[in-house]
């Protein structure tokens, strides 16, 4: 049973995050309950994935979609894309509640936004679901390659994370080789598994952990990665911690335990509190690659699909994540800012600059 939040808290939250629009989608026939959040459209239409998750409360779903959509604004800005930030969440268990009708109904809600919001897959959704949405609206990417889309964006997302990890390793060790470096990958789903492959291809020592034991066993065997329990990952003295599951794994409790000098992973919103925990990491001397900077590969892949770019161009844009990460780390060092504040400053400057361009003729 979902717990209802007080209605006035919704507007307080919108003010806090600075959203342009939030759409609540409800359809009793299909059981659809979803929220589409449009954060900022200065750079272009709001771009963001659709997550399906069995949130404990409606408040949790709202909070997630507001945080995710805001970070999309920053992600698109820092990746140099002409897109704004949005996101959507469907409340429900993806294994039990998802149907063609539910996804297509959701597609109708996206259609009604007339291109103000363009979506793609995320946790709990896949290319097949994007195909269902595509049956109702053109404002969706990440549809299967067989249908002329770019397919699963996860391998490109993993490539971007890998480039971000290398940029951090260069900052800390003087060169970006991953050979012999140790990495904990938490969450070995679509992105995590592809990342494990890239890391093992460069002879990194890889530890993996996932709540899905069967998957952990399979990935461990396939790539020669060491499986560890989720409870013990912070006891491991590795060089890099790569969160690739869900957000908020970096908080006051875990920062006390983390032994790794670098945190760089794909999960969105890894810091429970962007400012507080960003500062704590800075003080502790842990190099944190802001998630939205290094996990932009997925959205770059979708953007390329939208713009009709080649695979080569997509890869080039994704490899630029290396330089984007270095720029963030440089500014952080120069101005003694947390890496998150440094990244935000770079993203906000681009949005402000382009706003001026658009305000003139
Ligand atoms: P996924 O659902 O394929 O994989 C997530 C994995 O994490 C699953 O194997 C799940 O069992 C595991 N997991 C869940 N909770 C866990 C926990 N507490 N501890 C350990 N493992 C846990 O999702 P994905 O597509 O690989 O995305 C992973 C993260 O990266 C998400 O936060 C997503 O928003 C982000 N991301 C994904 C993409 C993409 O292209 N798929 C792009 C950018 C960012």
Per-residue pLDDT of 19-73, as tens digits, reads 999 999 999 999 999 999 999 999 999 999 999 999 999 999 999 999 899 989 9
74 part of a folded domain = no
Q: Does 330 lie in the same domain as 297?
A: yes
Å from CA of 51 to ligand 1 middle: 11
Residue nearest to atom 30 of ligand 1 (CA): 267
Please give the helix or strand (H or E) that residue 257 lies within, else none: helix 252-257
Domain with residue 110: its CATH number is 3.40.50.10860
Residue 16 Cα distances to 8, 20, 70, 147, 273, angstroms:
13, 12, 11, 40, 14
d(CA 268, CA 285): 22
* Distance from Cα 207 to the centre of ligand 1, integer Å: 16
174 and 194 assigned to the same domain:
yes
Best residue for ligand 1 mutational test, from 74, 121, 122, 149 (most atoms within 8 Å of Cβ): 122
- Global pTM exceeds 0.75: yes
Neighbours of 44 (CB within 10 A): 17
**Residue 274 located in a structural domain:** yes
Mean pLDDT of 305-312: 92
The total number of structural domains in the chain stands at: 2
The protein residue whose alpha carbon is closest to atom 9 in ligand 1 is 189
End-of-domain residue from the set 147, 181, 200: 147
- Dist CA 332 CA 170 (whole Å): 15
How many Å lie between the centroid of ligand 1 and the Cα of residue 190? 7
56 and 205 share a domain?
no
Q: Whose CA is nearest to atom 4 of ligand 1?
A: 189
Task: Mark whether 135 and 160 lie in a shared domain.
Answer: no
CB half-sphere exposure, 246, CA atoms < 13 A: 10
Boundaries of domain holding 55: 20-68+84-147
pLDDT of 40 reads 96
Q: Is residue 355 part of a domain?
A: no
- Check whether residue 200 and residue 114 sit in a common domain: no
Does 215 contact ligand 1 (Cβ within 6 A)?
yes
Q: Are residues 134 and 207 in the same domain?
A: no
Contacts with 243 (C-beta within 8 Å, 6 or more apart), sequence order = 186, 187, 249, 250, 263, 265, 266, 267, 270, 291
Is 6 part of any domain? no
Whichever domain contains 249, its CATH number is 3.40.50.720
pLDDT tens digit string along 227-249? 999 889 999 999 999 999 988 89
Structure confidence at residue 79 (pLDDT)? 94
- Do 128 and 163 fall within a single domain? no
Number of residues assigned to the chain: 361
């Amino acid at each position: 049973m979902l717990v209802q939040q007080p209605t006035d808290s919704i507007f307080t939250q919108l003010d806090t995050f600075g959203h342009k629009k939030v759409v609540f989608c409800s359809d009793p026939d299909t059981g659809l309950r979803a929220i589409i959040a449009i954060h900022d459209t200065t750079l272009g239409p709001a771009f963001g994935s659709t997550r399906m998750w069995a949130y404990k409360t409606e408040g949790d779903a709202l909070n997630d979609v507001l945080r995710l959509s805001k970070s999309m604004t920053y992600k698109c800005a820092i990746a140099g894309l002409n897109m704004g930030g949005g996101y959507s969440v469907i409340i429900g268990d993806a294994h039990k509640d998802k149907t063609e009708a539910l996804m297509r109904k959701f597609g109708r809600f996206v259609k009604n936004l007339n291109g103000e919001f363009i979506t793609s897959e995320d946790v709990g959704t896949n290319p097949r679901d994007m195909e269902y949405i595509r049956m109702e609206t053109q404002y969706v990417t990440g549809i299967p390659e067989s249908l002329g889309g770019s397919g699963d964006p996860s391998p490109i997302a993993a490539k971007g994370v890998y480039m971000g990890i290398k940029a951090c390793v260069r900052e800390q060790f003087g060169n970006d080789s991953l050979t012999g470096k140790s990495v904990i990958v938490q969450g070995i789903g679509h992105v995590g598994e592809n990342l494990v492959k890239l890391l093992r291809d460069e002879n990194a020592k890889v530890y993996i952990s996932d709540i899905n034991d069967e998957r952990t066993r399979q990935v461990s065997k396939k790539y020669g990665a060491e499986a560890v329990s989720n409870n013990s990952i912070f006891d491991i003295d590795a060089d890099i911690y790569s969160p690739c599951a869900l957000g908020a794994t970096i908080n006051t409790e875990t920062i006390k335990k983390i032994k790794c000098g670098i945190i760089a992973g794909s999960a969105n919103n890894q810091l429970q509190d962007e400012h507080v925990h960003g500062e704590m990491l800075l003080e502790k001397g842990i190099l944190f690659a802001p998630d939205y900077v290094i996990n932009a590969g997925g959205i770059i892949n979708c953007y390329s699909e939208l713009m009709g770019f080649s695979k080569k161009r997509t890869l080039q844009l994704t490899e630029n994540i290396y330089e984007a990460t270095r720029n963030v780390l440089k500014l952080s060092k120069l101005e003694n800012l947390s890496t998150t504040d440094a990244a935000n400053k770079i993203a906000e400057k681009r949005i402000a600059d382009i706003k001026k361009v658009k305000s003139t003729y």
